[in-house]
Structure 1
Amino acid sequence: MASALPLLLAPRPVASPRPAPTGRFLSLSAPLLAAAPVPAAVEPRKGGGRLARLQPLHAASPCNYVVAAATGGAEAARAKCLQFVAWYLLSLDKHPVATKAVTSALLNMAGDLICQLVIDKAPKLDLKRTFMFTLLGLVLVGPTLHIWYLYLSKLVTVSGASGAISRLLLDQFIFSPVFIGVFMSLLVTLEGRPSLVVPKLKQEWFSSLIANWQLWIPFQFLNFYFVPQKLQVLAANFVALAWNVILSYKAHKEVIAE
């Protein structure tokens, strides 16, 4: 009996703490809770735990790289576009005739290629035809339009809608009929078919003039009314591509023998 007494008086191991009871069992469990060891405060993990560990993974995900690359690419493209516009406007100031001539040549070339590939559906490109069409844009269209618009702004000095209408009438009913005839005649001659100049003009000149009026009259009114004279050829170039496709089709349409 005496030897068993120390075993009875020895402290028993305390079980792991359980959730605090509620209700009528609270008073009974209070001594047990008081005797239970208090766990040490858990130190927060360095970096904010699981959420903090996920943040670097999210930042390094491929989707973020794609978004960043797309955003950077768009900004770079926008910067290059603005840089090109600034360079083009500077070229217009320093070399107006040469800049407009090269621009017209490129638009003529694009218009003829579109006509051959899309409208004519040619199995093979006629490079001689494209070269001649481009050459006329360089030596005829660009320089002539530069001189004409400059002269027109000096001839009609009235501002506002009345001035725009006056320039429009002179441009579409005096300049355009002559210019279309000269362009077609030179193109047919340069392509080695001078005998077809008169038949070509009889067949295509008036229909080309009607198409010109339908496309250019609404645009040129806005051009003469809103756009400064220095930029009028540049503004016209936005419509010139569509017009060059039409003009190439008309100029190269087979002449029907009478």
Structure 2
Amino acid sequence: MAAIAVARAYQHSFDTRPNATLAVAGGALTALGDVVAQVTQNIRARRELHHTRPQYDAKRTLRFFIFGAAMSPFIGRWNKFLEWRFPLRSEGGKISMSSLTKRVAADQIIMAPIGLTMFLGGMGIMEGRDLNHIKGKFRDLYKEAIIANWKVWPAVQIINFRSMPLPYRVPFQQSCGVFWTLYLSLLNSSEECKQELEDNLRRTLD
């Protein structure tokens, strides 16, 4: 019953304020991914460095919330465009596998690179990085992340586009994306540590 009540409340909110609803839901789920990532990192640090007390970075989670809240309405509009451009069902109600394949291909060829670019650039800006640092982040992380994306997300999006109603596609994507956000958060964090070490070394040499 509780799940039905939540679904009804979400549907009503989406019907009246779609962008705000997607922003809050997407931001919360993206932030959750970073919480999981930080907990994972802290457990690992505690095991490897027994004397170190893990530190939780609330600002980092806030950055992920802001990114998720900003991207989710954009993804919602993208899903609406795909719904219009590649209708799945014919007059007889059968699903067109050709249209489904085109939706997934368009999503992965167009939106996946855009989303990853916005993530790396947006995180770099919110972290206060200069242009050279952001370029270094793209150079070190982009290829690895986009290849990992193409290994995982096509299967997720086939389920999403085929089975989920339009209002629920972004939350479904962001729910699955908790684990993807875990991956991106760990990847981004490792790059932060690398850049901090490089900055400290450069200051020492200067």
Q: 2:4, 2:101 → 1: CA distance? A: 33
Equivalent in the alignment of 1:154 = 84
Equivalent in the alignment of 1:244 = 181
For normalisation by structure 1, the TM-score amounts to 0.64
Equivalent in the alignment of 1:132 = 63
Whether 1:215 and 2:137 are equivalent positions in the alignment is no
Closer/same/farther in 2, CA of residues 156 and 237 from structure 1, 3 Å limit = same
Does the 8 A contact of 2:42 with 2:55 survive in 1? no
Equivalent in the alignment of 2:11 = 89
Q: 2:79, 2:150 → 1: CA distance? A: 17
Which residue among 156, 163, 166 is the counterpart of 2:99? 163
Q: What letter is aligned with 1:93?
A: D
Equivalent in the alignment of 1:109 = 31
Larger helix proportion, structure 1 or 2?
2
Q: 1:110, 1:226 → 2: CA distance? A: 24
Q: What letter is aligned with 1:218?
A: A
Which protein has the larger Cα radius of gyration, Structure 1 or Structure 2?
1
Write the mapping of 1:159-238 to structure 2, written as runs, cut at 5 A.
159=89, 160-194=96-130, 195-238=132-175
Q: 2:29, 2:164 → 1: CA distance? A: 20
CA deviation profile, 1:205-233 (whole Å, cap 9, x unmatched): 11111221222110101211222323221
Q: Give 3-state SS (helix, strand or coil) of 2:190's partner.
A: coil
CA deviation profile, 1:118-162 (whole Å, cap 9, x unmatched): 1354610112211111111112x2111111111121222354211
For normalisation by structure 2, the TM-score amounts to 0.80
Higher relative CO (Cα under 8 Å, sequence separation at least 6) belongs to 2
Q: 2:24, 2:152 → 1: CA distance? A: 23
- Taking only aligned residues, the RMSD between alpha carbons, in angstroms, comes to 1.7
Q: Give 3-state SS (helix, strand or coil) of 1:210's partner.
A: helix
Give % identity: 27
Q: Give 3-state SS (helix, strand or coil) of 1:193's partner.
A: coil
Q: 2:37, 2:69 → 1: CA distance? A: 19
Equivalent in the alignment of 2:93 = none
Q: 2:108, 2:80 → 1: CA distance? A: 16
Q: What letter is aligned with 2:33?
A: G
Deviation at residue 188 of structure 1 after TM alignment? 1.0
Runs of 4+ residues deviating >3 angstroms:
119-122
Instruction: Name structure 2 gaps, 5 residues minimum.
Output: 46-53, 90-95, 199-206
Instruction: Name structure 1 gaps, 5 residues minimum.
Output: 1-78
Does the 8 A contact of 1:108 with 1:133 survive in 2? yes
- Number of residue pairs aligned between Structure 1 and Structure 2: 178
Q: Give 3-state SS (helix, strand or coil) of 1:253's partner.
A: helix
